[in-house]
Structure 1
Amino acid sequence: MSKWTTANIPDQTGRTAVITGANTGLGYETAAALAARGAHVVLAVRNLEKGKAAADLIVGRSPGASVALQELDLTSLASVRSAAGQLRSEYDSIDLLINNAGVMMTPRSTTKDGFELQFGTNHLGHFALTNLLLDRVLAAPGSRIVTVSSTGHRFVRGIRFHDLQWEQQYNRVRAYGQSKLANLMFTYELQRRLHNTQTIAAAAHPGGSKTELTRNLPRPVAALSSLLEPLFQDADMGALPSLRAATDPGVLGGQYFGPDGFGEQRGYPKIVGSTDASHDADAQRRLWAVSEELTSVSSPVI
């Protein structure tokens, strides 16, 4: 397949998709594309007012689209549990769970539970949400869990197990890299655990995309980013790897999708590779165990 686009998305009628961070950027474009193909889309967002505005825009683009809102703050495990409980009461099955929301290169800060903000939001929040909803996802034949990572996973050589929360010598770029590496390791370990089910886990990254994520970039990185911005692609193109991972019938569990252009920064989605560190099976299992301990959420799949 030469150029995979939204035109290649199969009919999604009758399918339910839950997308985190779906009120703007990549998440919004992912939700809009799935809704346009008939999916019932749940926008899992922190700000319900912004979520309502996004839902209205989606319906405006696709009259008759089926869109719902779910309040979710990934920086709070209490909110994650509450959201999962509400989604479980509303849906007997979930066909697509797209872990899209995230923060990028933020100044040193913590979640409401005391975790380093990027690791806590990008990885632990989604780890907890996925496992709390996993029985609903398993109940849908052919279901998928897609987690959005980044080429930033290459910023680190491995998980900083001795100081997961970056309490020593905080570096916002490397902390971001760790959180994105964790997203990939989570996906690969989750797929191993799902191998005897009808559900698969896959990952994607958007390349260089114009989204609100860049608002926290350190000055030197921001300066470089502004120079390179003409090379970045719009969010609708950045969403294509996630959409392909979520809907292409040929996707296999554990695959990772990104743009096909130079440096995987822009272009159409293809299967891409990730670092050796992301494929370290012992580290994957260790991260999973630590994540269960930190979130007090146990996985229903072993």
Structure 2
Amino acid sequence: MSWTAADLPSFAGRTVIVTGANSGLGLVTARELARVGAHVVLACRNTTKGDEAAAAMTGDVEVRKLDLQDLASIREFAASVDRVDVLINNAGIMAVPYALTKDGFESQIGTNHLGHFALTNLLLPKLTDRVVTVSSFMHLLGKISIKDLNWKARPYSAWLAYGQSKLANLLFTSELQRRLDAAGSPLKSHAAHPGYSATNLQGHTGNRMGTRIWDLGNSVFATTADFGARQTLYAASQSLPGNTFIGPKFAMRGPSGPSPRSLLARNQGTAKSLWRLSEQLTGIEFPL
């Protein structure tokens, strides 16, 4: 039988931070971890929606403000954390019109990668177990431009920018694990992808026809948010080798387990270059 959230072990006495936990995959992830005894911090940009989500959960949950498009907000949030066992980098935006974060980053690389890069490094000294970063099989579209990560010189493509950010998630996961191993740390770095789950992520393309296409796709092809979150929960709870990438066996459906990644996602040179650039852009370095 396939592993499901019903197979989660007890998380009693453990603290988990889930970014973007007020809706979609993050909400299901937070709900299920709270159900099995975790103290879950819903790290949300919109705390009103976070409070609404928390009110519908059973267990020990709290809501804290975190805006991944604002480095000052990330620093403030990290400073408020005393100890955390599992960090789940779940929040993300997908194929949105061109925009900049408060710190001048292209919004998708800024939110999906640089924001989580900063948060993770600030929290590493307080972590006891693992980091799980949510990527996507759409990383197959991605190519990292070290010279133009923020789309200042290239014509902007919403989908290619999304693919770059999801590829960055995987390169971040592998380079983080390499650095943890080199530092002699027992912490683990994993990634997960949900397949194609119907969430509100698809409703912000800024294109009416595009949104209609996504609505049709959601109704015909997509799995549920519960299925998508299952991959994250598996990565957050099971004993796995470092740098494991979890997803459905058949890309969009099937049992949870190790998932393939593109050749570009396995390029250690790019991973190291992206890490150095991310440190320069955020002003936050690996602390261990």
Instruction: Calculate the TM-score normalised by the size of structure 2.
Output: 0.95
SS at match of 2:243: coil
Matched, 1:256 2:245: yes
What residue in structure 1 maps to residue 158 of structure 2? 172
CA distance in 2, matches of 1:146, 1:220: 33
Residue 85 of structure 2: aligned partner: 95
% same residue: 46
Hey, what does 2:268 align to over in structure 1?
281
Give the drift of 1:219. Answer: 5.6
1:211 is aligned to 199
State the Cα distance separating 1:227 from its structure 2 match.
3.6
Alignment partner of 2:194: what SS?
coil
Q: Offset at 1:47?
A: 1.0
Which residue of 1 is the match for residue 144 of structure 2? 159
Q: Give the match for residue 167 of structure 2.
A: 181
SS at match of 1:252: coil
- Cα separation, 2, equivalents of 1:42 and 1:115: 26
> What is the Cα deviation at residue 223 of structure 1?
4.8
CA separation in 1, counterparts of 2:12 and 2:235?
A: 18
Q: Is 2:126 aligned against 1:127?
A: no
Return the alpha-carbon distance in structure 2 between the equivalents of residues 10 and 285 of structure 1: 35
Task: Pick from 61, 69, 72 the counterpart of residue 67 of structure 1.
Answer: 61
Counterpart pick for 1:239 among 207, 224, 229: 229
Residue 181 (structure 2) pairs with residue 197 (structure 1): no
- Number of aligned residues: 283
CA contact (8 A) 1:237 1:268 kept: no
C-alpha separation in 1, matches of 2:216 and 2:280: 42
How far the C-alpha of 1:276 sits from its partner, in A, is: 0.7
The aligned counterpart of 1:62 is none
Gapped regions of structure 2 (runs ≥ 5)? none
Q: CA deviation at 1:266?
A: 2.8
Match of 2:268, as an amino acid? A
Distance apart, 1:228 and its partner CA: 2.7
Runs of at least 5 residues in structure 1 that lack an aligned partner in the other structure: 60-64
CA distance in 1, matches of 2:215, 2:11: 37
Contact 1:240 1:268 in 2 (8 A): no
User: Is residue 259–residue 266 contact of structure 1 (8 Å, CA) maintained in 2?
Assistant: yes
Counterpart-to-counterpart distance in 1, 2:3 and 2:212 = 32
Q: How many angstroms does 1:260 deviate by? A: 2.3
* C-alpha separation in 2, matches of 1:252 and 1:70: 31
Deviation at 1:8? 1.6
Contact kept in structure 1, 2:9 and 2:237, CA below 8 Å: yes
- 2:106 is aligned, of 116, 132, 136, to 116
| CA root-mean-square deviation | 1.3
Q: Name 1:45's counterpart in structure 2.
A: 44
Q: Following the alignment from structure 1 to structure 2, what is the Cα–Cα distance between the partners of residues 241 and 268?
A: 9
- SS of equivalent to 1:161: coil
Contact preservation (8 Å) 2:203, 2:214: no
